[in-house]
Amino acid sequence: MKKFVIFVCALAIATSALAGQSKPKASYDGIVEKYDASTRTLTVKRKDKQGEFVISDTSEVLDGGKKADASALSVGRKVDLDFVMDGSKKIIQKVKVSGPAAAK
């Protein structure tokens, strides 16, 4: 019985230690190519590469250093973003928008 209690305590400690770990953060920058408000998907182009990211309810959008909403993510604007991986999805934590929108 004593060994079982020790095992359960060790398991509880290991589980709580793993639960406290956060997902590694990464960053990406480029120009907004497209923002789909219905799927909350942001497509960012950098040189000859393209990244696809998801805006969540906890994502922070900053436009010129001020808090903004996703409407600031218009085509042609420069973005610098921090994201975490959730499976195969790239979830935006913070996106900084700068520069003017592309002329139509």
pLDDT tens figures, 25-73: 999 999 999 999 999 999 999 998 999 999 999 999 999 889 999 999 9
Residue 5 lies in a domain: no
Domain housing 60: 24-98
Residue 13 lies in a domain: no
3-state helix, strand, coil in the chain (%, to 5): 20, 55, 25
Among the residues of the chain, which ranges form H helices? Answer: 2-19
Residue 50 lies in a domain: yes
Residue 72 lies in a domain: yes
Residue 93 lies in a domain: yes
CATH code of the domain in which 32 resides? 2.40.50.320
- Nearest Cα to Cα of residue 67 among 59, 77, 78: 59
Read off the pTM.
Answer: 0.73
Residue 15 lies in a domain: no
Report how many domains make up the chain. Answer: 1
**Per-residue pLDDT tens over the stretch 11-22:** 555 554 445 456
Residue 47 lies in a domain: yes
The Cα–Cα gap between 100 and 75 comes to 9
pLDDT-based confidence at residue 24 (cuts at 50, 70, 90): confident
- Six token digits for residue 100: 């003017």
